[in-house]
A and B are shown apart, each in its own frame.
Chain A
Amino acid sequence: MTGRSSTRKAKADTRGSRRNQAGRRGPTAGRTRSWRDSPLRRITPWLFLAAPLALLITFTYVPVASMISYSFTDWDGVSPDRENVGFDNYVSIFTRPELFRVFFVSGYYLAASVVQIVVALYFAVILSFNLRFRNFFKGILFFPYLINGVAIGFVFLYFFQDGGTLDSVLAWLGVSTDHAWLGDPTSANVSLAGVSVWRFTGLNFVLFLGAIQSIPSELYEAAELDGAGKWQQFRHIIAPSIKPVISLSAILAISGSLSVFEIPYIMTGGATGTQTFVIQTIKLAFQFNKTGLASAAAVVLLLIILLITWIQRRLVPDDKVDLV
């Protein structure tokens, strides 16, 4: 879920290191000249890169290439022969409603990410001021992000049970419900999306907090002298400074919403209309042995995510995303 912004960084990287290299040559140029040309010198970096590149190619590029090639076949993942079926798999994904439906499930998670970002932003702003028990609240808000996904799944299965945590808390507050929270598709998806807000708000919160804390405090002081209130400080100082991090979070939220897997798989197994794209792909590939169709689905997901990343990079220019 991270990586997305690294491209930007790396661009800066190549620039930076070229400068380094030029500087390095300076005083010792005469001494290094002969060594620089020796064949050993030319091989050295490759000795260091051999293992990383082997892993990179084996576990990223080979899979991408073979996934694309499987996606045009009817391969079952096991048998030695496979038939080329052209674009049939892709046509199936977009025309068979039961396959396409998973995209609508992402909508719940997308809406949840909006809530998540707003809540994280709110708490990051108030906790960037000196409050009592600030570190305690910081810890509380972040901790859910560190918890094992399976454990979270179970905690919330119990939470949404009949007579479980949620019902008990509501009864205690004087609201009595006998609603089966995971019983119908809408309420199940809303519940599961709520769990993802509970789980991931902490990460957004820490990112925002880091960005807000890197704003020089003189800015606030100047603003205060000019008579700016809290809201104006937020609007004119904090908001513009953390725009890049918010945009990064938005991207992570979109691609995250498309690739939800753990929580719905653990809690409902994809039943009651909570099946997501990744659950479907895994079922297609490993239960129904439709490797070809599953690959086509994965290619579609990959293309959507690449498209979103590309749009984000057009909207937020490179050198701005460097705040944290």
Chain B
Amino acid sequence: MTSPDLTAAPNRPRPARRRLPVGGVLTYLSLLVATAVVLIPLVVVFLTSLKTSKEVGDGSALSLPGNWFNFDNYVTAFNDGKMLLAFGNTAFILLFSIGGTVIIGSMTAYAVDRFDFRGKRLVMAGFLIATLVPSVTTQVATFQVINGFGLVDTRWAPILLYMGTDIVSVYIFLQFIRGIPVSLDEAARLDGANAFTIYRKIIFPLLKPAIATVVIIKGITTYNDFYIPFLYMHSEDLGTISTALFRFKGPFGAHWEAISAGAILVIVPTLIIFLLLQRWIYNGFAQGATK
């Protein structure tokens, strides 16, 4: 958050910097209050994660840890919370569901934008109407489908669900593919390329910016999702970041220093990604949410 250059929004020239003489102070005051509201809960949990269990019991929540390099709680959370396994499972699910979403989304967009065929409107309508159905509402019945395939309690259940229900990415690709000149397809076709080659060699590489957007949005929402892994993967060995953290609280009920360490462990990767990719993340979510 300290590297202002990264976030420099797609700035069109603003009307020269304007001063808000009286309002100025209040504006900054309100921003500082907001900053405090966002940071205090997180900072306190971070402080707690460095304390010993005695310090948590005795001191106030705002007191500072005696030893700033007390990482015992992190070790506890990492080992007892089976975090390594959880990061592994999450990485596995991320890899396949993002890969699948990118391929499926771009293929759909290519087929729908570049071909004229009977039933095209029906296909479009099919994708459209599906956007109106929130997946939380259908989960009771979706569970039976996954169960029918025998996939409950495997990592393939979330992977298939993340791939199959992501219509937003289809729209992001569709928006983008429309900007790629059709003359490129035709040139390749004259050189004897078939549709699949065109997709693979021309369209797909040109979709890079859209792929980046989809990877970011999909990556963050998948990493953070609790609902689907919670419903479909009961085994302790199949914990994802979310469910492992959720289960970790059970045995550590009142040990806030350990729970805090677990929470911080889960938040840190997000923070790093955010600091590195700020601009793309803002744009990605603005696109993903409104398209």
Give A contacts to B, CB under 8 Å.
1-7, 9-10, 13-14, 16-17, 20-21, 23-24, 28, 31-32, 42, 44-49, 51-53, 55-64, 66-67, 70, 77, 119, 122-123, 126, 129-151, 154-156, 158-159, 161, 163-165, 167-169, 171-172, 198, 203, 206-207, 209-210, 213, 216-217, 220-221, 224, 230, 245, 248, 252, 255, 259, 261-262, 266, 278, 281-282, 285-286, 291, 294-295, 298-299, 301-302, 305-306, 309, 321, 323-324
Residues of B within 8 A of A5 (CB): 290-291
Check A126 against B61 for contact (C-beta < 8 Å). no
Contact flags (1/0) for B87-125 with A, using CB distance below 8 Å? 000000000000000001101101111011100110110
CB-CB contacts below 8 Å: B10-65 with A: 10-15, 17-18, 20, 23, 27-28, 30-31, 34-35, 37-42, 44-45, 48, 60-62
List 16 additional contacts besides A51-B104, A132-B28; criterion CB under 8 Å. Answer: A2-B288, A28-B186, A48-B111, A55-B104, A59-B165, A60-B165, A129-B18, A139-B278, A147-B270, A148-B270, A150-B226, A151-B266, A155-B41, A168-B44, A266-B246, A298-B137
**Smallest distance from the beta carbon of B107 to chain A beta carbons, Å?**
5
Could you tell me if B10 and A140 are in contact, using CB atoms closer than 8 angstroms? no
Interface residues of B in 232-291 (CB under 8 A from A): 241-243, 245-246, 249, 256, 259-260, 262-264, 266-267, 270-271, 274, 278, 281-283, 285-291
Q: Report if A142-B133 is in contact (Cβ < 8 Å); known contacts: A53-B123, A165-B41, A262-B227.
A: no
Interface centre among A56, A58, A216, A299 (most CB of B within 10 A): A56
Question: Are A9 and B291 neighbours in the complex by a CB distance under 8 Å?
Answer: yes
Contacts of A295 in B (CB 8 A): 140-141
Query: Measured between C-beta atoms, what is the minimum distance from A323 to chain B in Å?
Result: 8
- Contact A135/B263 with A44-B195, A64-B141, A158-B48 known, Cβ cut-off 8 Å: no
Q: Are B262 and A154 in contact (CB under 8 A)?
A: yes
Instruction: Give the chain B neighbours of A140 by CB distance below 8 A.
Output: 1, 34-35, 38-39
B239 to A: closest C-beta gap in Å:
11
Bin chain B's interface residue count. Answer: 35 or more
In the complex with contacts A3-B131, A58-B164, A171-B60, A285-B140 CB distance below 8 A: yes
A3 to B20, CA, bound (A): 38
A158 in contact with B260 (CB, 8 Å) = yes
Q: Which of B66-74, B166-174, B207-215 sits within the interface?
A: B166-174
Contacts known (A138-B7, A305-B137); A59 close to B142, Cβ less than 8 A: yes
Q: Are A13 and B174 in contact (CB under 8 A)?
A: yes
Question: A297 vs B147: C-alpha distance in the bound complex, in angstroms?
Answer: 21
Offer 21 A-B interface pairs, CB within 8 angstroms, sorted by A: A2-B291, A4-B132, A31-B190, A77-B144, A119-B34, A131-B28, A136-B1, A136-B2, A136-B4, A141-B34, A143-B274, A146-B274, A150-B245, A154-B245, A155-B42, A168-B62, A198-B41, A210-B286, A245-B290, A259-B136, A266-B246
Of B13, B131, B281, chain A has the most CB atoms within 10 Å of the CB of: B131
Residues on A with beta carbons closer than 8 Å to the beta carbon of B31:
123, 126, 131, 137
B176 partner residues in chain A, CB cutoff 8 A: none
B220 interface contact, C-beta 8 A: yes
CB contacts (< 8 Å) of B223 on chain A: these are 148
Does B9 sit at the interface, judged by CB under 8 A?
A: yes
- What separation, in Å, do the CA atoms of A255 and B62 have in the docked complex? 37
- In whole angstroms, what is the CA distance A45 to B51 when docked? 60
Q: Which 9 A-B pairs have the closest CB atoms?
A: A55-B164, A3-B131, A48-B111, A59-B164, A135-B7, A67-B141, A63-B141, A45-B115, A168-B61
Query: Can you name the residue of chain B whose Cβ is closest to the Cβ of A119?
Result: B34
Instruction: Tell me the minimal C-beta distance from A57 to chain B in angstroms.
Output: 8
Chain B residue with the shortest CB-CB distance to A149: B226
Cα(A51)–Cα(B160), bound, Å:
11
Which residues of A are found within 8 Å of B116, using beta-carbon distances?
21
Asked whether, in the complex, the Cβ of A20 is within 8 Å of the Cβ of B178, the reply is yes
Chain A residues with CB under 8 Å of B105's CB are 52
Task: Name the B residues within 8 Å of A44 (CB-CB).
Answer: 111, 115, 195
Complex interface: chain B residues within 8 A of A1 (CB): 134, 289
| Complex CA–CA separation, A70 to B137 (angstroms) | 13
Asked whether, in the complex, the Cβ of B289 is within 8 Å of the Cβ of A198, the reply is no
* Residues of chain A within 8 A of B154, CB atoms compared: none
Alpha-carbon distance A60/B145, docked complex (angstroms): 10
CA distance A305 to B135 in the complex (A): 12
CB distance from B229 to the nearest CB of A (A): 10
Q: Is B12's CB under 8 angstroms from A213's CB?
A: yes
Bound-state Cα–Cα, A45 to B120, Å: 9
> How many angstroms between the C-alpha atoms of A28 and B199 in the bound complex?
20
Q: Which of B129-164 contact A (CB under 8 A)?
A: 130-134, 136-145, 160-161, 163-164
Cα distance A84–B271 when bound, in Å?
52
Interface residue? B224 (CB, 8 A) = yes
**Contact residue among B115, B141, B286 (Cβ-Cβ distance under 8 Å from A207):** B286
Tell me, rounded to whole Å, the shortest Cβ–Cβ distance linking A250 to chain B: 14
